[in-house]
């Protein structure tokens, strides 16, 4: 009898979840906002906990799921009708890199550090900040990148030109901290770095939020 009740409640919960998800609409996983993600977790938790709670009947499962689903539906409706509420509940895309310059205030507001930004850029096939004209952090945490014109030209194979050997850029300063291991890997040292900073009018590495170096080329620096 107990197994029969559990089977009934699981199947019933599955149907309730299916109906609510269909009514609320569907979107790709990559498009789900943090609020949508938390809402889905809570909805699943309501059904899951209710199924294995002896004091909770199937009617309570339906009631709880219905109330939560209604709240989500109202929220989605309001965000579609009001731009202000949409920004309040879903957030707003932020321009992290503007005309090739890091916007440190936007990075702090979105709790994004240099290492996380570099990872997001690499996911887009961008291995150097020098290649980026604009970078926008979307509401779902993904990043959209517009490369600089000179970094988005026809390939060398299209032009039938033999290209030079490529190498990854080394991050030598991150959040004002010198990364000695990367300096050594790039074949330079702190003395060289301080000399480069001095030529650019920078006395202290703590004034630099990001610096990268490709052996044989000029150092690239972004200040706070």
The predicted structure's pLDDT at residue 31 = 52
Dump pLDDT digits (tens) for 67-112. 777 877 787 788 778 777 777 767 778 899 998 899 988 888 888 8
The predicted structure's pLDDT at residue 147 = 87
For the domain 167-223, what is the CATH code? Answer: 3.30.240.20
> 94-151: what fold?
CRO Repressor (3.30.240)
- Helical H segments across 52-137, by residue range: 58-81, 83-90, 104-109, 114-123
Find, among 113, 148, 111, the residue nearest to 129 by Cα: 148
The predicted structure's pLDDT at residue 29 = 46
Q: Which residues of the chain have pLDDT under 70?
A: 1-3, 5-6, 8-10, 12-14, 16-18, 20-37, 39, 46-58, 89, 151-166
Q: How far apart are the first and last CA of the chain?
A: 67
Whole-model pTM: value is 0.58
Find, among 168, 185, 167, 166, the residue nearest to 121 by Cα: 168
What are the angstrom distances between the C-alpha of 90 and each of 8, 12, 157, 159? 36, 31, 43, 45
Beta strands in 93-164 (DSSP E): 94-98, 101-102, 132-137, 143-147
Helices and strands (DSSP H and E) totals, the chain:
9, 8
* 94-151 and 167-223 share one fold: yes
Contacts of 98 (CB under 8 A, 6+ apart): 134
The predicted structure's pLDDT at residue 79 = 73
Which residue's structure tokens are 């990075």?
A: 107
Domain assignments of the chain as residue spans, ordered by start: 2-89, 94-151, 167-223
Contacts of 14 (CB under 8 A, 6+ apart): none
Quote the CA–CA distance of 158 and 212 in Å, as a whole number: 29
């Amino acid at each position: 009898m107990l197994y029969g009740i559990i089977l009934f409640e699981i199947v019933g919960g599955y149907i309730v979840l299916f109906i609510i998800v269909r009514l609320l609409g569907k979107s790709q996983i990559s498009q789900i906002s943090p609020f949508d993600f938390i809402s889905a977790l809570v909805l699943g938790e309501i059904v899951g906990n209710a199924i294995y709670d002896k004091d909770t009947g199937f009617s309570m499962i339906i009631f709880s799921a219905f109330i939560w689903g209604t709240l989500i539906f109202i929220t989605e409706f309001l965000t579609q009708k009001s731009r202000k509420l949409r920004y309040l509940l879903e957030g707003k895309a932020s321009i992290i890199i503007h005309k090739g310059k890091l916007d440190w205030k936007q990075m702090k507001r979105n709790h994004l550090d240099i290492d996380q930004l570099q990872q997001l850029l690499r996911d887009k096939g961008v291995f150097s900040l020098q290649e980026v004209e604009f970078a926008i952090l979307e509401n779902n945490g993904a990043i959209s990148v517009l490369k600089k014109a000179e970094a988005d030209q026809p390939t060398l194979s299209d032009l039938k030109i033999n290209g030079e050997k490529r190498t990854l850029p080394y991050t030598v300063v991150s959040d004002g901290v010198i990364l000695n291991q990367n300096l050594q890997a790039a074949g330079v040292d702190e003395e060289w770095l301080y000399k480069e900073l001095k030529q650019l009018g920078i006395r202290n590495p703590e004034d630099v939020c990001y610096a990268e170096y490709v052996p044989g080329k000029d150092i690239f620096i972004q200040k706070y």
